[in-house]
Amino acid sequence: MKLQMLLVVIDPTKQAQPALERAAWLARQSGAALELLVCEYHATLESSSLFDRKSRETAREHLLQERRDWLESLALPLRNEGLRVQTEVRWGRPLHKVVLERASELQPDLLFKAASEHGKLRQLLLSNSCWELIRHATVPLWLVHHGAGRPYQRLCAAIDPLHSFDKPAALDHRLLTAASELSSLLKLEAHALHCYAPLPPSMLFDAELVAHYPQYLQNSGKEHRAALEQLQKQYPQVLANGHLIEGYAEEEIPKFVREQSIDLLLMGAVSRSHVESALIGNTAERVLEQVDCDLLVFNSGPKSSVPEK
């Protein structure tokens, strides 16, 4: 994977910056440049009867300069390592719109953002801005749960070669290409997982179908395995560890992630529409809410900068 620019969303309210840690780790391996982005906004400094316009503008610029100086303090040790780092401060809200605007201008290869962890819960807690970026980002979105203090060992691409959930065929190829190239670049053990759920007997009302249900299960399994094996020919590095599991994806993928100690899950998000209220598929939403690892999410909208095979 040819990585040239990584865009990192920095949270000015937090001391720890796991997204920056992970992006810097990847930059060291790939030679990519980094841009650190802070988005700032205070309603009082936008329009308020407490201050006149000139005072608001002065205070706003002072705040933005403070953020620039702070970003430079984060960038300096990375530059001293030899990494190429630039900084950007933007004024505006909501956060996801400002980030998407900058991503459209910069056209990074990856977009990094931290997801939050609450108390003793292990799973990712995705903020509203995370969900909006999942729905609308046109570049792959890397949601970081664990910073560089937790080494990566394994990644997994969750695929659906029969496109059961209206997922475009190209999305599997993007996921597997990225999984193959990241595993080579970062020396990670690569896996691919496909889950399928045959219709349960309770949903079959035709007596003849019920009578042939065992044959249906066998044929269904063969069909999904054949589709997985077909992909294996194109991506042997990843699908050498290909897994076919019978069950619902929203249950089996988080379980697999936990049991196999997956550090990075690559997954596609299928937008149902491109309107402002677009929602990704229910399966992807349920999986993303339950996994306990970092996520690399590819949207099914416009093509990302990750090369396709």
Q: How many helices (H) and strands (E) does the chain have?
A: 10, 10
- Write the CA distances from 51 to 40, 42, 92, 201, integer angstroms: 19, 13, 19, 69
pLDDT recorded at residue 197? 81
Region 172-184: mean pLDDT is: 95
The residue among 266, 301, 309 whose CA lies nearest residue 168 is 301
pTM: 0.86
Considering the domain architecture, whether residues 144 and 227 belong to the same structural domain is answered as no
Q: Which range has the worst mean pLDDT, 48-62, 76-90, 128-142? A: 48-62
Confidence of residue 159 (pLDDT cuts 50, 70, 90): very high
Tell me the per-residue pLDDT of 78-87, one tens digit each, with 9 for 90 and over.
999 999 999 9
Taking residue 195's Cβ as centre, other Cβ atoms within 10 Å add up to: 24
Question: Which band of pLDDT confidence, cut at 50, 70 and 90, is reported for residue 220?
Answer: confident
Residues 167 and 299 in one domain: yes
Whether residue 275 is predicted with pLDDT greater than 70 in this model: the reply is: no
Cα separation of 261 and 256, whole Å? 8
Q: Does residue 208 share a domain with residue 307? A: yes
Q: Are residues 253 and 242 in the same domain?
A: yes
**Domain containing 184 — which CATH number?**
3.40.50.12370
What tokens were used for 100?
A: 């998407």
Task: Kindly state whether residues 141 and 129 are assigned to the same domain.
Answer: yes
* pLDDT score recorded for residue 127: 81
In this model, does residue 37 exceed pLDDT 60?
Answer: yes
| Section 26-55 average pLDDT | 84
* Same domain (yes/no): 54, 189: no
Strands (E), the chain: 5-9, 33-40, 85-91, 110-114, 141-144, 154-158, 189-196, 242-246, 264-269, 294-299
With a cut of 70, say whether residue 167 has pLDDT above it.
no
Residue 119 has what pLDDT? 43
Instruction: Give me the pLDDT at residue 139, please.
Output: 95
Q: What is the pLDDT of residues 231-240, one digit of tens each?
A: 888 999 998 9
Percent of the chain residues past pLDDT 90, beyond the cut: 54
Task: Measure the CA–CA gap between 144 and 264, rounded to whole angstroms.
Answer: 9
Q: What is the mean pLDDT of residues 120-141?
A: 80
Model pLDDT, residue 292: 82
> What is the predicted pLDDT for the residue at 307?
36
Say if residue 66 is in the same domain as residue 179: no
Of residues 54 and 236, more confidence is placed in 236
Q: How far apart are the C-alpha atoms of 16 and 185, rounded to whole Å? A: 26
Arithmetic mean of pLDDT, 258-267: 95
What is the pLDDT at residue 97?
96
Contacts of 165 (CB under 8 A, 6+ apart): 270, 281, 283
**pLDDT of 225 over the 50 cut:** yes
Same domain (yes/no): 181, 220: yes
Q: Are residues 184 and 293 in the same domain?
A: yes
**For the chain, what is the mean pLDDT?**
84
- What share of the chain has pLDDT > 70, as a percent? 79
What is the number of structural domains in the chain?
Answer: 2
User: Does the pLDDT at position 249 exceed 80?
Assistant: yes
Looking at the structure, tell me whether residues 182 and 278 fall in a common domain.
yes
Which of 129, 151, 173 finishes a domain?
151
State yes or no: pLDDT of 120 exceeds 50.
no
Range of the domain at 11: 1-151
| Same domain, yes or no: 144 and 165 | no
| DSSP calls for 232-265 | HHH-HHHHTTEEEEES-HHHHHHHHHHHTT-SEE
Return the half-sphere exposure (C-beta side, CA atoms, 13 A cut-off) of residue 191. Answer: 19
* 183/271 same-domain check: yes
